[in-house]
Chains A and B, each alone.
Chain A
Amino acid sequence: MNEPLVLQSKLDLPAADPLATALKERLGTDVTVDAGAVASIGALGLQVLISAAASLKATGHRMTIINASDRLIEQMSQMGFTPESIAEGTS
């Protein structure tokens, strides 16, 4: 099992690219994403996670999001998602 990928506190435009890079490196393994430090997630951060989750799923691997705060879950739901649906790569 790999070390969890610890997310930054703000998943906005500047954070999207580094996040995508980090996730690309983990394609081909099961990925655990530690969202414990995330204070806000934007649409760009969101789409990286969903895209990664979908790609993982397509290759028989899975993403798990852990430690999502209530605030983060609320932000996700405002965009139509739950941590589970993101980890599934679906809306």
Chain B
Amino acid sequence: MSDANDPMAEIRASFFIECEELMEAMQDGLTTLDEGDDDPETINVVFRAVHSIKGGAGAFGLEALVRFAHRYETALDDVRSNKFTPDADAMRLFFSCADHLSDLIRVCRDDDAIPDDRSAELLAQLDTLLGGAAEEEEEVSADDFEPMGVSISLDLDGLGDLPPLDFDVDDAAPMDETPCYHIRFKPEQEMFETGNEPQMLLRNLAALGEATIECDLRDLPPLEALAAETSYLSWDITLIADVDEAEIREIFEFVDGLCELSVRRAGSDTDAPAVTAPIETSSDGFADLPEPPATVPDDPDVPVAAAPAPVAAALAPSAPSAAPAPEEKTARKPAPAKAAGAAANGPKSVVRVDLERIERLVNLVGELVINQAMLSQSLEQAGLSPHSDAMNGLEEFQRLTRDIQDSVMMIRAQPVKSLFQRMSRIVRESSAGVGKNVRLVTVGEGTEVDKTVIERLADPLTHMIRNAVDHGLESTEDRRAAGKSAEGIVTLSAAHRSGRVIIEVSDDGAGINRKRVLEIATNKGLVPADASLTDSDIDNLLFAPGFSTASEVSDLSGRGVGMDVVKTAIQSLGGRITITSEAGKGTKFSISLPLTLAVLDGMVVNVADETLVVPLNVVVETLSLGAADVEMLRPGKYIVRVRGEFVPLFDLGVELGYREARDSYVGAIVLLIAYEDGARAALIIDGIQDQRQVVIKGLDDSFFRAPGIAAATILGDGQIALILDPADIIAEASGASRTEALSA
């Protein structure tokens, strides 16, 4: 991550991680707004995200980021205060600004060149959008920003100058920021006697917003001296919530007179010490910065004094998830604050863990699985009875190993949401690039996939989304002519299906122009001119290397690297990609991926003295062939009859080149394999050994990708076995009888 010796670098790194989370929340908010949501909380979320980014950026002297975020925030504030109601164009601009903000964060993080031109362009658009008020604003803030360098105090000054625009300081202050309250609460004995319970009150309080609850035990005597019915406890609560004081007092309405209660709003001018309190407790490392917000009390006039609360509010939402500064009070005891936050608005409590540690854990668990297999094998060889204690214990051990494995895999799993959000940006940009009106619909954002898979899916998905926008959807005129709505729809969905993850990219465009695809493929020599191909064969030509259908090369997708690159990327993840298309209705690409790249349930089989592993999820059934089951289509090409259905038969030993074809198939053992699309095939093997979980050891790093081989594993006896990709083997085998191009 960062240089361990430099605390600033660490804090800075965690700031950028927080930024990613904030950007995610912001994208969510914008999307919800775009869908017509008018809940004030939605725009608040977006506003707060931008504000927090600005605050953090100020602390690290990221001036370009601060300047842009500030102006963007001003625009959002206008929306928040109902001065401006965004239309579709405005929303587009807001999205573009969000995209740019995320770019700025990235360049600031990587110390790249800052795209000032783009900032200026977007800011100019924001000004035009918001009209005169914004220009006035601009003068004020620009004056402030240029001469002063960057620090949080500058940020505050900028805010402090905002209220005069509203002409009403009292109104502006609560509108500006989420207020922060300090509540001290000490129940009296009578309170318990009347059946009231502090825990309920604290719970209700926490439900208002983000609460940090601390219990004061000063008065609590040792047990010997304790009178059980006397109340000794009192509580200090820091509450960040968009409510007024009356709402807080309302919670204590029924215990009025039965407890001591004080409610103070942080940052109120009567309460100078409280101004710094929230910053100390909630800002994580930020309070340690060289230029802390301690400048605030130097200017105790009203507008500035009102500002510290906003800073605390802006930084506080990040506190539960990030605990990089263990010396901080709240970081040391995150549980109460987190749980209270969860009660308030349901965010999950999270721990940030270095990926390396997880990788190590995954590897260790992998070793554990192998070790367990070895142990089980040696116990078996020792001739122990299956009913012996040792064998029973071993069974339990196996179950536990599996549970650990599953749990470890779940640590690595992440929802695909972040990936999908990146795609919505791709859609916005690519549709603007080709002048089409496109909406991205996402389904199943919560589907969890291995982190590595998510990272490695970004490029292929980007390519597919661009393809869908550029080639899949028709132009607006063509859509109208075809009686469709002018707005094209690209759907991105994710789901778990039978132990795999299915990700689909579909458009509601014209479908694949098969005639044209075939023509191009023939012209390019990808298929012989006289080849007779089925529709699905033609569709699959899109994946052939060097294929590109766009007659004009657009700067979006037609760069000569086509879907074959996508296919290779998906295959390297152990996945498969299929394509379906219906003329006039659209095209759908389905990616099927293994849930994890680390383990799988496999069937251990023998083929010509070799031990191989077949992924269990593709095996539908195993059968032993009888004389009447097999029919010959032509020499070397057999089919087998399974439950009234004919299924192509392949001899695994022959396909892999281990041995010659058998003389007779009678008595041979066959695995019935099913693909995602429901098609089936039968594989002849020589024997089945076992069914067990195997740890996947990738071959790609050390070897080339062998067709039909997905990876390798180490078996219990220390022997190495190859893990097969049956669909690939069959594609290879059937490809040999068709054209070379199709087998690619």
Contacts and interface: CB of A to CB of B under 8 A. Distances in A.
B220 A77 contact: no
Interface stretch (B194-202, B412-420, B571-579): B194-202
Nearest to A82: B335
A27 B217 CA distance: 20
Contacts of B333: 85
B252 interface: no
Nearest to A18: B228
Interface in B165-210: 187, 192-193, 197-199, 202-203, 206
Given A42-B198, A44-B229, A80-B235, A24 B206 contact: no
**Interface majority SS (helix, strand, loop, mixed), chain A:** helix
**Interface majority SS (helix, strand, loop, mixed), chain B:** mixed
Given A40-B199, A42-B197, A79-B202, 18 more contacts: A20-B226, A20-B228, A41-B199, A42-B198, A43-B192, A44-B228, A47-B226, A47-B233, A50-B220, A54-B223, A55-B222, A75-B203, A77-B340, A78-B336, A79-B198, A81-B215, A82-B336, A85-B333
A41 to B, nearest CB: 7
Interface in B308-342: 333, 335-336, 338-340
Interface residues of A, number: 35
A24 B223 contact: yes
A2 interface: no
Nearest to A75: B199
A83 to B, nearest CB: 10
A19 B228 contact: yes
Contacts, number: 105
A55 B223 contact: yes
A37 interface: no
Contacts of A73: 339
Given A77-B335, A78-B199, A79-B213, A23 B223 contact: yes
B351 to A, nearest CB: 15
Shortest Cβ-Cβ A-B pairs, 7 listed:
A77-B339, A16-B228, A80-B213, A17-B228, A80-B215, A20-B228, A55-B223
B221 interface: yes
Interface of A: 12-13, 16-17, 19-20, 23-24, 27, 40-44, 46-48, 50-52, 54-55, 58, 73-75, 77-82, 85, 90-91
Contacts of B199: 40-43, 46, 75, 78-79
A54 B213 contact: no
Interface of B: 187, 192-193, 197-199, 202-203, 206, 213-217, 220-224, 226, 228-229, 231-233, 235, 333, 335-336, 338-340, 343
Given A79-B199, A85-B333, A47 B232 contact: yes
Contacts of A40: 199
16 contacts: A13-B192, A13-B193, A13-B229, A17-B229, A23-B223, A47-B226, A47-B233, A48-B223, A50-B220, A51-B232, A54-B217, A74-B343, A78-B203, A79-B199, A80-B202, A81-B215
A13 B231 CA distance: 10
A80 B185 CA distance: 13
A73 B223 CA distance: 23
A16 B229 contact: yes
A41 B198 CA distance: 10
Nearest to B221: A51
A27 B222 CA distance: 11
Contacts of A43: 187, 192, 197-199, 231, 233
A79 B206 CA distance: 10
Nearest to A54: B222
B235 to A, nearest CB: 7
A20 B223 contact: yes
A19 to B, nearest CB: 7
Contacts of B213: 77-80
A91 B223 contact: no
B231 A78 contact: no
Nearest to A53: B223
A40 to B, nearest CB: 8
Contacts of A58: 222
Contacts of B231: 43-44, 47
Contacts of A27: 223-224
A52 B228 contact: no
Contacts of A48: 223, 226, 228
Contacts of B193: 13
B220 A54 contact: yes
B496 to A, nearest CB: 26
Given A27-B224, A43-B231, A91 B197 contact: no
The listed residue with most A CB atoms (<10 A of its CB), out of B198, B214, B223, B235, is: B223
A59 to B, nearest CB: 10
Nearest to A89: B217
B209 to A, nearest CB: 14
